[in-house]
Homo-oligomer: A and B are copies of this chain.
Amino acid sequence: MFVKNAWYIAAMADEVGRTLKQRWILDEPVVMYRTADGKPVALYDVCPHRSMPLSKGELLGDQLRCGYHGLVFAPDGRCTHIPAQTHIAPSWCVKSYRLVEKWRWLWIWMGDPKSADESLIPDFHWNEDPDWIPTGGHFEIGCHYQLLVDNLLDLSHLAFVHRTTIGTDAVAENPATVSREGDAVRIVRSMPSCPAPPLYAKLIGYSGEIDRSQDIVFTPPSQVVITSRSVPKGSNEADKILEYRVLNGITPGTKSTCHHFWAVSRNCVPDPQVTKLFHEGSVRAFSEDVTVLETQQTMLDRMAGRIAWMHYNADGGGNAARVIVDKLLKREAAGATERAAMS
């Protein structure tokens, strides 16, 4: 079960062009491409005729032709050509999804089209802001998307999973405070007088202790923005501040896979070499997460029905997020029941 009435990142903007790209999203196969004038298109990737993935076909101008029997579909999903036949019933169509380009990502809406309000796209502007220097990427991970949300909302794991890049004991041993703001969850951790993690020393030349803080905002169903701020202990000199945002757009792939679209964006140290180090350090750290998350999912799968999680303070953020997602799922299920009753 996934929240459907929500915007999810479907792709990085430059991943989709004039070839057909398939990606599983919310347990549905989706084919994406751009029309000749660059408009992004997303269709259900199953030909209604004999279930061939449309992504195995080809573009005819702005339309998509199935590679098996040659049916042609327009960007809105209507079938526009059936070989050797002139009549095309209106029911001959595939689902089309709203696909919107914003902040250098393509955002998809797979729920009720009437509710697809672009103003609800999460504020990830730091990925496309002249004052910020972003770098980012995409991982497909073999785990349920909520395991990755849990991971990002409890950064105490930095001390153990990422100790060679961004983690120190201080991240685990300083408790975080959790607050709820509407359907958002905010987790704040302050780490005064702690050692700089290995990557920071490399990035900005920190030696000695730093004052560090993390400010994490979750918005449902699965967006997480992390603001990380560090200064030399007790200092406040502008050129010594290391501040960055980690933007995480997490999109369910299937029941046991998810997509992690990430960007790390900073407004300081405008050195391309630092951007490179940021990118490499992030890829290395996120790859450590991938290993952990896929190991965790494998154990959950193997022990299906024999697992009961225990909770402690540090789970406050992740558990609050799950409560909100459960509420949205119930609301959507109730709406579906109501619509069924009225029809």
Contact = CB atoms under 8 A, between A and B. Distances in A.
Interface of A: 29, 46, 48-53, 56-57, 65-70, 82-85, 91-92, 150, 154, 156-157, 159-161, 172-176, 292, 295-296, 299-300, 302-303, 307-315
A215 B67 CA distance: 24
Number of copies: 3
B83 A173 contact: yes
A314 B69 contact: yes
Contact of A309 (B49, B173, B295): B49
A156 B56 contact: no
- DSSP class of A's interface residues: helix, strand, loop or mixed? loop
Given A69-B172, A157-B69, A56 B312 contact: no
A66 B314 CA distance: 15
6 contacts: A49-B311, A49-B312, A69-B160, A70-B156, A70-B172, A82-B313
Given A49-B310, A150-B50, A303-B46, A173 B67 contact: no
B160 A314 contact: no
A292 B51 CA distance: 11
A84 B173 contact: yes
Nearest to A297: B51
A318 to B, nearest CB: 9
A48 B176 CA distance: 21
Contacts of A154: 69
Contacts of A57: 160
A68 to B, nearest CB: 6
A336 B311 CA distance: 29
A159 B65 CA distance: 12
Nearest to A147: B50
Contact of A292 (B68, B160, B303, B308): B68
B161 A67 contact: yes
B309 A52 contact: no
A65 B163 CA distance: 14
